Amino acid sequence: MASKKTTSGNRLDVGWQYGIDVDKNSRRVQCKYCQKIISGGIYRFKHHLACTRKDVEPCQQVPEDIKKMMLNVLVKNQEATEKKRKVFQYIEKDEDNDEGNEITSVDKGKRVTSGSGSTQTTINQLLKRDLREEACRQIARFFYTSAIPFNCVKNPEFVKALELVAKHGPGFKPPSYHDIREKYLKQEVDHTINLLEEYKLEWKKTGCSIMSDGWTDKKRRSICNFLVNSPKGTIFLSSVDTSNISKTADKVFEMLDAIVERIGEENVVQVVTDNAANYKAAGQLLMGKRKRLFWTPCAAHCIDLILEDFEKKVEVHQVTIANGRRITSYIYSRTILISMLRHFTKGKDLIRPAATRFATAYLTLGCLSDCKIQLMTMFTSIQWRSCRFSKTEEGKRIQSCVLDSKFWHDVTICIKAAYPLIKVLRLVDSDEKPAMGFIYEAMDQAKEKIQVNFSCVKKRY
């Protein structure tokens, strides 16, 4: 009789209040809320309204009260089915029992109750699935509205925070603005200072390297960061505002000497700075005073200076990089040409940022070389000829440069000379592993590669 209630002639099932029968067999039901036709009968249609995602797409327009009511109906039906199944299993097992014991009503009740655990687990899973979706949407909304970078999700501290909130359970009160700004910030500073003690013990055992890094912030202030590296890892030590300091060799020496004194001369193996003249002189003064340490120039800065010398002192590099910049600047300053470029290059760009300014120039030449055919096709196409920029003097000069075979020949020469050094730059600028162990071998390999690129003709390289 229960199966007849869901047929076309008997609409006693509560689900028919919100659905329309599409065919005579009642196997296809149209939802009154989203108008979608659900196959599989009224049972699957109820899962559609309850948004359980069980073999059917959830309804996006069902009211919340109807959704909860349908979920309760499904849960009750599942409980009843589970009870019947457990009773029948018990009866079958008892009939197979050679002792022929009779099943009492008390025994049946015990067996039925024993199945409630799995039923409750299923109910919790249905409820938690929707709750998790809602929680994830809210977390994502917090990221979007606060402009938080998406890769912060990969931070293990983020996962730990959510696990602790879940362990706390309902009623968790988040920290206030004052708590974040004062209370917990001070606690975290104290915690970080305690962690530093472990690193200081390592410095005494194996020694350490002091690294300085100068940069300019958004307010145009000159900042010098000091970091300490050891086998245990690299840590940030301090930051000095050098905007009001004259960066003479003596002043830089005083600043470096103070850092060495803070770490302890007996713990310092080397001091690493960039290769500027004032830092180089300061390094010599430091080695004169501190006999147990060495001054070492930054490998990445040295390679960048080599690339700078290529660009400024080798005529073919100077002219070619200038022409490459002229082409990219002309295209990227005009929206129509950007759209045209992406059409011909299938979305590839002509500019690839690098760790340093001079490396970026050579990587841009590499991108131009990779898109050589597409660029030449673009500047000979009907789209370019019909564009108003093709009639201007600047546009004609850019077109002439792109179609000039000598320009592309010079691009190849520049890439052959610079790319082996850029490969080394990537190695020494990586944070994954210290570069000291392989920098000399890498530079030797770069020299050999440059020789091979120019067919070992000494006059060419």
Residues 263 and 313 in one domain: no
Q: What is the DSSP string of 325-343?
A: HHHHHHHHT-HHHHHHHHH
Are 334 and 327 within 8 A, CB to CB?
Answer: no
Predicted local distance difference test score (pLDDT) of residue 1? 41
For residue 24, name the pLDDT band (cuts at 50, 70, 90): low
3-class state of residue 296 by DSSP: strand
Domain for residue 83, yes or no?
yes
Q: What is the pTM of this model?
A: 0.56
Final residue in a domain of this structure, among 74, 90, 114: 114
Count, residues in the chain:
461
Residue 315 lies in a domain: yes
Closest CA to 272 of 227, 307, 224: 227
Q: Is residue 176 part of a domain?
A: no
Calpha distance 162→389 (Å, rounded): 55
Residue 155 has pLDDT above 80, yes or no: yes
Distance from C-alpha of 156 to C-alpha of 158, rounded to nearest angstrom: 5
Q: Are 251 and 355 within one domain?
A: no
Please tell me the predicted confidence (pLDDT) of residue 4: 44
Highest mean pLDDT, choosing among 86-100, 245-259, 432-446: 245-259
Q: Quote the pLDDT of residue 145.
A: 93
**Same domain? 7 vs 110:** yes
Q: Which domain holds residue 208?
A: 194-297
Give me the CATH number covering residue 242.
3.30.420.10
* 335 plus 445 within the same structural domain: yes
Domain-terminating residue out of 260, 276, 297: 297
Helix, strand, or coil here: 11?
coil
**pLDDT reported for residue 396:** 92
What is the average pLDDT across 339-362? 82
> How many domains in the chain?
4
What pLDDT sits at residue 355? 62
Which residues, at least 6 apart from 212, have a Cβ–Cβ distance to it below 8 Å?
224, 225, 226, 227, 256, 259, 271, 272, 273, 274, 279
**Is 186 inside any structural domain?**
no
Residues 231 and 284 in one domain: yes
For residue 308, the Cα-to-chain-centroid distance in whole angstroms is 31
Considering the domain boundaries, does residue 202 fall inside one?
yes
Same domain, 88 and 133: no
Instruction: Tell whether the model's pLDDT for residue 34 goes beyond 60.
Output: yes
Mean per-residue pLDDT, 208-225: 83
130 and 102 in a common domain? no
Do 359 and 431 lie in a common domain?
Answer: yes
In the predicted model, is pLDDT for residue 140 greater than 90?
A: yes
Specify if 173 maps to a domain: no
Residues 108 and 131 in one domain: no
Q: Is residue 255 part of a domain?
A: yes
pLDDT in tens, 357-390: 778 888 889 999 999 999 999 999 999 999 999 8
pLDDT at 40 over 90: no
449: in domain: yes
One domain for residues 226 and 205: yes
Same structural domain for residues 218 and 264?
yes
Q: Looking at the structure, do residues 269 and 321 belong to the same domain, yes or no?
A: no
